[in-house]
Structure formats: C-alpha cells, structure tokens
A and B are shown apart, each in its own frame.
Chain A
Amino acid sequence: MTQAAPIALTSPAPTAARGWLAQAGVIALLVGVGLLILPPLLYLAASAVQAGSLGAVSIGSLGGLVFTTLSLATLATTWAMMLALPLAWLVVRTDLPFRNLCRWLAVVPLAIPSYIGAMAYIALLGPVGSVNAWFTTLTGSQQQWINIYGFWGGVFVLGLFTYPYIFLLASAALEATNPSVEETARSLGESPLGVLRRVTLPMLRPSVLAGGLLVFLYALSDFGSLSLLRVHVFTTAIYHQLNTRFDQASSAMLSFVLVLITLAVLVGQRILLSRRSYVTITGTARMARPLRLGRWRWPAAALTGGILGLSVFIPLGVLLAQTGSGGQFLEVLREQGRFIQNSLVMAGMAATLAMILGFLIAFTAKHAQRRTGAVLTGTIQVGYAIPGTVLGLSLILLYNTYLPWLYGTVGILVLAYLIRFLTQPVQGVESALAAINPHLEEAARSLAASPGAVLRQILAPLVRPTLFAVWTLVFISAMKELDATLLLRPAGFDTLSVRVYIHTVEAEYAKAGTLALLLIAFTVLPWSVVTHLQEKKIV
C-alpha cells in the first residue's frame, strides 16, 4: 500500500486554519467512533477482569472451544470463497447465460437469515429429513444416509448463506478494475486461465480478503444456526453461561476471549493486505467485452445453477412448502404490516447512517497516519465480534444507566446495528479506495483541482458501486439481526426477524415460513432496485 500524506486533508497550499479544522474533523470522528464502540468493549473487559474465572468452562475445554470455533470459521470462509469467486468472475467477465439474473440471485442468500437456512436444511438433510426418507423408500435400507447435524453441517450452512459477502465485494471490484489490464495480458498471449491467476485474482485480493473477513467474523459470532445444528462453539457456550447459569461474569470472560481472537484475525488480515499494493492506473471503469465461454458456456451455467440451487432455490422451496394458502398469506401480510414497516425503517436508518459514517471513516483512515487508520478501522471491526446477546445486555446496562432517554426508544436498536455492522461499509469502502491509484488524486490536484472536487469527481464515482453495495449489506444485516434486537426493542415494537423467531418458537410454522419469506422478499427489495438502476446506468 502506498503511504499517503500523513493527514488527509493536506492540500497543495494548506492554510493553518484548514489544517486545524482537518485535525479537528479527524479527532471528532475518532471520538465519535470511540464513544460508540468502546463502552461495551470496556464493559466486557471490566466484567471479565472482575470474573477472573471461566465459570463452568475449564481451561481445557476453552482450548477445545477455540479450536472448534476457529476451524469452523476457517472452513466456512474457504467454502464461501469456493462458491463466490467462480460466480463473481462468471457473471462480471463472461457471456454466461442469464448473467444479470444470476448476478442478482447470487446476493439473495444473504437475505436468508442463517438460522432459517439451517432450519430448511435440517428439514431436508436431518436424520429424519426428506432426503433420508427418500433414501429409505428407494433402497428399503433403514440406514441413515446423511446427517446435517454437527461441525460439517455448520460449515456447509454458514458458507452457503454468507458467500454473497465475498461475491458482492469481489464483483464490485471486478467491475471497478480496468479490464484493459486483463485484455492486454490476453493480447500478450496469456491463456484465459493465466489471466485469471496472474492478473484478475491478484487484483481482487483486497476485496476477497475483506469479504472473507466478513464471512470469518460472521462465523465467529453466529449463534442461531450453529445452536440449531448442534455445533458447540464460543457463542453457544456464552449463551449457555448467560441463560442457564445467569453467569454474566463468565459469559463476559468468554466474549472477551472471542474479541481477542477477532483482534488477532484482524491483525493477520492487515499483514496479508499490506504485503503488496494493487491499484488501478486509470479511473475509467470501462465495461469489458465479455469473455466468450464457448463450449464451457453450459458447464459454467450448470455450476452457477448448482450454487444458486443450494443457496437460494432449495431453502426458499422448503419455506414455500411450509406456508399455507394464498389467502393465509394475505392474512399474515395484513396482520403483520406494522412489523414490516418497523423492520424497513430500522434497517434503512442503520444502513444510511452506516454508509455515510463508513465512507467518512474509510476516507479518514486512508489519509490519516497509518497507525491511526488501523486503530480506527480495527476498533470498528471488533464491534462485529461481540455476540449479539452480549452486546444487547451490555448496551442495556450502559444506556439504561447513563443515557436512559435513548434506551427504551428505537434509537438504541439503530445504535446496536451500527456497532455490529459498521465494519461492513468501512471494509468495503476501504478496499475500494485501496484499488484507486493515489497518483490519480495527485494528478488531479496538481492540475489545481480542489480537494473537494477530487473527492466528488474522482473518488466518489469510483467508489459509488461500492457505496450502494455496502448500503445493501448493512440493510440486509440489520433486517436479519435477531439476538440484540430481541433484547433491545422497546416493548410492543417487534421487527420481522423477531416475529419469525416468535412464531418458530411457538411452532406456528406456516406463519413463520410466510414471515420468513416476507423478510427475505423485503430484504432483497433494495438490492433489486440497486441492480436495476445499475443496469440502466443511472447510478
């Protein structure tokens, strides 16, 4: 990564006043982010120190937990990359059949909360699920053919419903990187595979790592699907301490260990990213002539269909089979309209705020001194690692005590979503900014363009696809969020995800299925609008 000027906002002729203002802006941002994220972290640390023990978790079983959790997250991330990268490359760079449709569909799994995905797959691949039943009918053998429960089921399901994180960032980056680099390589006699390996993939590295990190951190903090699939990891252990023993101290201790692991992962990612720099020389993201797949066209389509089948059609099909008649569907829609509105307003607010803040933070981090930037973005990423339940409880304690007017309103929900998901826009915009050659900015400035003009006319258009992508990411995450929402929502204020949870717990599966489909539909909606606008070149 090229070292930029120490502080942002140094322009060719900095006046003292402006330098001071710039400093003040950076400091204000740092303080704001600090006030948002540090209190729950400090609270965790304080409780952990106070506890001094792990409650029922012995040091030996802690080692086991760390091992299981890390291997699960690593394998789920690998699996997600295996799904996301071929898809991203196929839909952006080749003449894959129905590529626009596939591109749209590839993001849909993100709208399916992983606990709902897990439930669908348990119904299908559980010990007494449909597949085993078919197998028994076909062969007459009572032997169990497949069992989704356990570690590998967790890897399978998590990867399946998180790969769009990588897909979104990788395809946006593919779009933003100049295809002429690849064309040049091809014209110089490099084989298509060689171009992929030596040119395309290296250029994608920052966004693949950013997306992979999101998947990894998601896997570390997921509770719902893993507890359903009977995998014992950190989050389930924390939940257990908290909900059967009411042992907040040792759950804080475990959460703190999880936060430390996250920090280690983040440092690792920084090191990986800082080894080389990847920049686009020119800013024009000209559309490439799609690569002709030729006789590989249909095999590629089959691969795409397989991935989308596993991650979109099968779970949606299972949910659809659960729901009742069309009349019932309308009834649910009428009855639950209020909750749909609640979800949309909350998620929209969180996404907009997160996008703006994320852009400011990424921009500041890029131009600030390297260490300041790393601390800033690192702090935000840690927020993602606090399990939702633990975050919810700590926010209750902190805000009910010190800012009681905020707690008990929906504002606390937006705040929780920001803490949990702010890392998504920061990561996304950061990787998009990293792909922009600083010479581009320098050149513009040397031509006497004002810094504002640089931001508006050069940086903003280049990161715009990413801005839309990160808004969608946060919106989707906030729509799905359950653990913290359950605790923090004001009484009487339910969201769609809460309703799905309540009806599932109460074993009203037709209602739960209908609401889950509605949740997915409303989560996909903004994504559809964005893709539509992008196709029409409006954004």
Chain B
Amino acid sequence: MRSDITIVFRTAAAALLIASAAGSMAPFPAEAASDRLVIYSGRKEKAIKPVVEAFTKQTGIQVDLKIGKTSGLANEIRMEKVRPRGDLFISTEGGIMEVLAKDGLLDPYQSAATKAVPDEFKSVTGAWTGISGRARILLYNKNLVPEKEAPKSILELTDPKWKGKLAIAGTRERTSLAWAASLVAMKGEAFTRDYISKLQANGLKILTDNTEVWQGVGRGEFAIGLTNSPNYYLAKQNNLPVGVAYPDQEVGGLGTPINPNAVAVIKGATNLATARKFIDFLLSREGQRILVTQDYEMPLLADVEAGEVLPAKAIKRPAVTAQRLAELEEPTLALLTSLNPNW
C-alpha cells in the first residue's frame, strides 16, 4: 500500500539521485588541481591574465585564476588557514600583505629577482614583493577646472573654492588608507586629523571605490578626485575630459605616495616551487613588460621601460618604508572612522 512515507522517501531518493548525478557531472577543480597553480588576484584580470598566459606558454604550467577584491580574497585566505587552497596572492597594496604576514599566512621568498625591487616596495622579511606601482594623483575635470588652476598640492583642497566638489574612495580601497597613513607618517597624527576634518568640512564626498571617483570626476559630478594614476589613463581611454596633477612635487614638498601592487606565496601552498617560479616570472623583463602595459602601471624596477605612464623614478614621494606604513594603517583607520564612520 502506498503511503505518504513512500512518497516522501521516493522524492528524497530522487533528490539524492539528482544531486549525486549533478555532482559527478560537475567539475572538481580541487582534486584535479594538485599540479595546477592557483592564484588569488585582487589585481584586475585584464592586468594579470596576459602575464599568466605568457607564463603557461613558457613553462607549460596550467594556472587557475581567482579574481576578486583584494580585501575579500585576504579574508578568504584567513578563513582557509587550516587547509590553504591558493598558492599565490596578488594584492593591490602592501599594507594588506603586512596584515596577512603578521598572522603567519604568508611564506617568505627571496631571490635574485625580488632583490632587484627597491626596499620601499617590499617586505623586509621577504614575505611579499611589489610587482608594479600606482601613484596617488589628483584627477580633475577639465571642463570644471582649467589646467592652470589645477591644485598643485593636496593641502590646497581645503580652499573654499573646492567646496562640495571633492571626492575620494573610502578605506575599503586600501590605497586611500595607505595615502592617509603616509600623511600621518610625514606630518603626524594631529596634522592629519586637522587636515582631514577640514577636507570633510569642505564637503569631501567619500565614495565606495576608485571607479566611482574617476567616473564621478569624468562626468563632472566632482571637480577633483583623490585617486590612483592608472585611473587617469582609464578615464582618458573612456573619452572623459580629465586632467592629472601629481601633487606636492615642488622642492621641499610632501611628495605623493606610490602604492605597490604586491605578490606573496600563501603559507602551506601546495605548489610551492611553481608559485616561486611565477614570482620570478612576474619580475622578469617579459613579465614586467606585459604587466605594466596592460593597465597603465608604473614599473618599479629601474631598467623596465615605462611606456606611456610616468616611471616611479620621475615622481617625488614621501620617504616612508612599507613597514612603517603598515604599522600606521590601523591607527590611521581609527582616526578616519572617528571623523566620519563612512570612511
């Protein structure tokens, strides 16, 4: 006799069947992945994929790429600590690497290639290495700001003539945090607090990310945006009327920071040797050439052609080490959020 039970069980059995059938059909990258290099990248696919393809072509090593937000992937690496799934992590900023290194999540690696990177763009312990850089810039809308009126220093932005016309990404863009931290390093906490409060009083708009900043400036919602150098080229590529100012370049000026994009081996990586090989490839002449031309980044190595963009050496920057910057990020964040929770 048929009963509810049989129906319930039959349906359950059907569900199980479907699940297992679907399961056996679906790919199982984790099992097959033992010899495939797994890269977690907060850097854009557009910038990283061509390098990965060149690497595969040269070495025959297959790569699985997981693109995401730098901070999201960093959280993922923390969660995966007991059983790491990625081999390499590529981030858009150095400070986050320091956070991970402090938690013992990175595996230091030093080689001839990493030694060529200037000290200010890598970890002293070899936990991570810079692979390319982005300068902090003032992006302005040419229709709203004539070129000769463009501010030459970030300190000019507190001028009432820019009231309500300024934008910056919040600290979920790590480069904004690094920028503020370098200001703390150079001028101290009291000065930074006063400066940021004045910017806020001048109507500084804190946006979600840098894309919003360059688009907002490009479309004329804002006259000036504090953002990173590749965004200037990106906005130009999108036919937006933008100009760029590298601020505080005069003699005795503050300079403007360059944030490195960084790479590190994840501690416990399954493919340690290949992961290290990939880092050397990234820093090789060919790797650098591809990386730098894809997304308007600055080469950090002295002998690599910068192409269309300004090379790092052409920019005056604050003399702050990556370690100091990383130490300052936590107190800087506290300072910023105490001024406005939206930071």
Partner of B30, one of A8, A248, A409: A409
Bound Cα distance from A508 to B294, whole angstroms: 13
Q: Which A residue sits closest to B67, measured CB to CB?
A: A502
Bound Cα distance from A243 to B33, whole angstroms: 28
* Contact between chains at B85 and A491 (CB < 8 Å): yes
Please give the distance in Å from A283's CB to the nearest CB on chain B: 18
Q: List chain B residues, Cβ under 8 A from A230.
A: 207-208
Does any Cβ of A come within 8 Å of B40's Cβ?
Answer: yes
Q: List chain B residues, Cβ under 8 A from A533.
A: none
Segment among B9-17, B281-289, B307-315 that sits at the interface with chain A = B9-17
Please give the distance in Å from B174's CB to the nearest CB on chain A: 8
Partner of A25, one of B8, B25, B172: B8
Does any Cβ of B come within 8 Å of A128's Cβ?
Answer: yes
Q: List chain B residues, Cβ under 8 A from A405.
A: 30
Q: Which B residue sits closest to A455, measured CB to CB?
A: B7
Segment among B74-82, B127-135, B146-154, B185-193 that sits at the interface with chain A = B74-82
* Contact between chains at B342 and A455 (CB < 8 Å): no
Partner of A21, one of B5, B78, B207: B5
Q: How many residues of A contact B (CB 8 A)?
A: 68
Bound Cα distance from A345 to B18, whole angstroms: 12
* Contact between chains at A18 and B3 (CB < 8 Å): yes
Please give the distance in Å from B271's CB to the nearest CB on chain A: 12
Does any Cβ of B come within 8 Å of A357's Cβ?
Answer: yes
Name A's interface SS: helix
Please give the distance in Å from B340's CB to the nearest CB on chain A: 11
* Contact between chains at A244 and B177 (CB < 8 Å): yes
The digit string for A1-37, where 1 denotes a CB below 8 A from any CB of B, is 0000000110100000010011001000000000000
Partner of B23, one of A22, A401, A411, A493: A411
* Contact between chains at A452 and B80 (CB < 8 Å): no
Given contact pairs A492-B66, A502-B67, A8 touches B44 in the complex (Cβ within 8 A): no
* Contact between chains at A246 and B79 (CB < 8 Å): no
Please give the distance in Å from A85's CB to the nearest CB on chain B: 33
Does any Cβ of B come within 8 Å of A232's Cβ?
Answer: yes
Does any Cβ of A come within 8 Å of B19's Cβ?
Answer: yes
* Contact between chains at B75 and A242 (CB < 8 Å): yes
* Contact between chains at B79 and A397 (CB < 8 Å): yes
* Contact between chains at B5 and A489 (CB < 8 Å): no
The digit string for B84-113, where 1 denotes a CB below 8 A from any CB of A, is 011000000000000100000000000000
* Contact between chains at B208 and A356 (CB < 8 Å): no
* Contact between chains at A359 and B172 (CB < 8 Å): no
Partner of A9, one of B5, B74, B76, B171: B5
* Contact between chains at B26 and A244 (CB < 8 Å): no
* Contact between chains at A11 and B3 (CB < 8 Å): yes
Partner of A228, one of B38, B78, B208: B208
Bound Cα distance from A242 to B75, whole angstroms: 8
9 additional contacts (CB under 8 A) given A244-B170, A455-B4: A11-B3, A244-B71, A246-B74, A400-B80, A401-B83, A409-B23, A409-B29, A487-B75, A507-B215
Contacts A/B (CB < 8 Å), 24 sampled: A11-B3, A22-B4, A128-B220, A128-B221, A243-B71, A345-B22, A393-B75, A393-B79, A400-B82, A401-B83, A409-B28, A414-B22, A450-B1, A450-B2, A451-B3, A452-B4, A455-B4, A490-B30, A491-B38, A491-B66, A492-B29, A492-B64, A506-B46, A508-B46
The 3 closest A-B pairs by CB, nearest first: A408-B30, A492-B64, A452-B2
